[in-house]
């Protein structure tokens, strides 16, 4: 086992959030990574406090800061599940610090994605709308099934999440839609149908439909439906614990230590 001071140091951003707190717990239990910093938004009550105490436990010696650059300078990896605008800002700072930037944030617009690509010229970025092993396998399966079937089979993606989720369709649904489009040999953008309401007319042949459910504490559920004449295939993933996403992010932070600058996803990390 490596001495603790030799382990890659990780900073978690959005540390008071649902994923932020899960990541801190898993890094605390890890023998391969150590927590060296915790970042929250300026003006939030955790700033300046010991992170362990802010989370309701024993002190862990990590002070929560609103200065990302100061925190990133001490880190080999930044794990970031926050919001699109924050992640774009963190990408430039992580690249400046030459830290691997693991991005779980979803809901980016095209212009924001272009800024992440620019940052990846100087540092490793690993980004995925879902970091779990199960969903990344489902993505592969979706592509395979879409490859095997023609457009007589309608593809619909249905996702369900907790009431606090702010973006739709989910990052995972978009990953699955992208895989389905690639399997079919079409561009998702020309075939995407989201949020039907009112007198929509009949379904357009070849479209890939998206529907989003929001409620309660649902961690994340995704169905990819291939609906044909007289039969249906349904591929499903159900997440019951956010630890599956955090485990993937830790794996990506370690994997990224040995890579050249560039943009990667969880398929690269998992070798799928």
Ligand X SMILES: O=C(O)C1=N[C@H](C(=O)O)C[C@H](O)C1
Shortest distance, CB of residue 149 to ligand NDP, whole angstroms?
A: 28
- Map the footprint of ligand NDP across residues 121-140, applying CB under 6 A: 128-131
Contacting ligand NDP within 29-58 (CB under 6 A): 39-41, 44
Residue 128 interaction partner, one of ligand NDP, ligand X, none, beta carbon < 5-8 Å per kind: ligand NDP
237 is catalytic: no
Residue 46 vs 210, nearer CB to ligand X:
210
Q: Among residues 20, 37, 129, 183, which is the contact residue for ligand X, using CB under 6 A?
A: 129
Dihedral-angle region of residue 56 (phi above 0 means left; psi in -120 to 50 means alpha; beta otherwise): left
Task: Specify whether the CB–CB gap between 37 and 74 falls below 8 A.
Answer: yes
Q: Closest distance between ligand NDP and the C-beta of residue 61, in Å? A: 20
Buried b or exposed e, range 100-139, using 16+ CB within 10 angstroms: bbbbbbbbbeeeeeebbeebbeebbbbbbbbbbbebbebb
Residue range at the interface with ligand NDP (CB under 6 A); choices 8-16, 175-183, 209-217, 227-235? 8-16
The whole-angstrom separation of Cα 179 and Cα 265 is: 13
Choose the contact partner of 41 out of ligand X, ligand NDP, none; CB within 5 to 8 A by kind: ligand NDP
165 is catalytic: yes
Count of positions on this chain that bind ligand NDP (CB under 6 A):
25
Which of 86, 225 has the CB closer to ligand NDP? 86
Which residue is catalytic, options 25, 115, 144, 165?
165
User: What is the rounded CA–CA span in Å between residue 69 and residue 58?
Assistant: 26
Write the binding mask 81 to 110 for ligand X: x where contact by CB under 6 A, - elsewhere.
-------------------------x----
Length of the chain: 272
Residues 6+ apart with CB under 8 A from 141: 235
What's the DSSP call for residue 211?
E
> What are the residues facing 155 on neighbouring strands?
208, 226
Return the number of the residue (135 or 155) whose C-beta is nearest ligand NDP.
135
**C-alpha distance from residue 112 to each of 84, 126, 153, 190 (Å):** 7, 15, 34, 21
Secondary structure of residue 101 in the 3-state scheme: strand
Report the binding-site residues for (S)-2,3,4,5-tetrahydrodipicolinate.
Answer: 162, 171-172
231: preceding bond cis by omega (within 30 degrees) = no
Catalytic residue, candidates 161, 191, 222, 237: 161
Residues 137 to 176 in contact with ligand X, rule: CB under 6 A = 161, 165, 170-172
> What's the closest the beta carbon of residue 91 comes to ligand X, in angstroms?
18
232-239 and 220-227 beta bridge pairing: antiparallel
Using CB under 6 A as the criterion, which residues of the chain lie in contact with ligand NDP when the complex forms?
13-14, 16-20, 39-41, 44, 81-83, 86, 104-107, 128-131, 171, 245
Which residues contact ligand X by CB under 6 A? 106, 129-130, 161, 165, 170-172, 220
Catalytic positions: 161, 165
């Amino acid at each position: 086992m490596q001495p603790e001071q030799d382990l890659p140091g990780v900073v978690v951003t959005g540390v008071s959030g649902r994923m932020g707190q899960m990541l801190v717990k898993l890094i605390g239990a890890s023998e391969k990574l150590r927590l060296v910093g915790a970042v929250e938004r300026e003006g939030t009550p955790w700033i300046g406090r010991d992170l362990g105490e802010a989370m309701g436990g024993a002190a862990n010696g990590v002070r929560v800061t609103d200065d990302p650059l100061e925190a990133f300078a001490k880190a080999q990896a930044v794990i970031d599940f926050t919001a699109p605008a924050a992640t774009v800002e963190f990408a430039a700072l992580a690249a400046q610090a030459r830290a691997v930037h693991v991005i779980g944030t979803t809901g980016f617009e095209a212009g924001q994605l272009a800024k992440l690509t620019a940052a990846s010229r100087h540092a490793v970025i690993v980004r995925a709308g879902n970091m779990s092993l199960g969903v990344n396998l489902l993505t592969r399966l979706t592509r395979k099934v879409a490859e095997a079937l023609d457009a007589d089979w309608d593809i619909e993606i249905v996702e369900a999440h907790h009431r606090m989720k702010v973006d739709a369709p989910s990052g995972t649904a978009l990953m699955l839609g992208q895989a389905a489009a690639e399997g079919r040999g079409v561009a998702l953008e020309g075939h995407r149908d989201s949020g039907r309401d009112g007198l929509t007319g009949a379904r357009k042949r070849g479209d890939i439909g998206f529907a989003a459910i929001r409620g309660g504490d649902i961690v994340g559920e995704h169905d990819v439906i291939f609906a044909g004449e007289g039969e249906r295939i349904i591929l499903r993933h159900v997440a019951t614990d956010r630890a599956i996403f955090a485990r993937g992010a830790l794996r990506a932070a370690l994997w990224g230590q040995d890579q050249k600058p560039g943009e990667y996803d969880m398929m690269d990390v998992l070798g799928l």
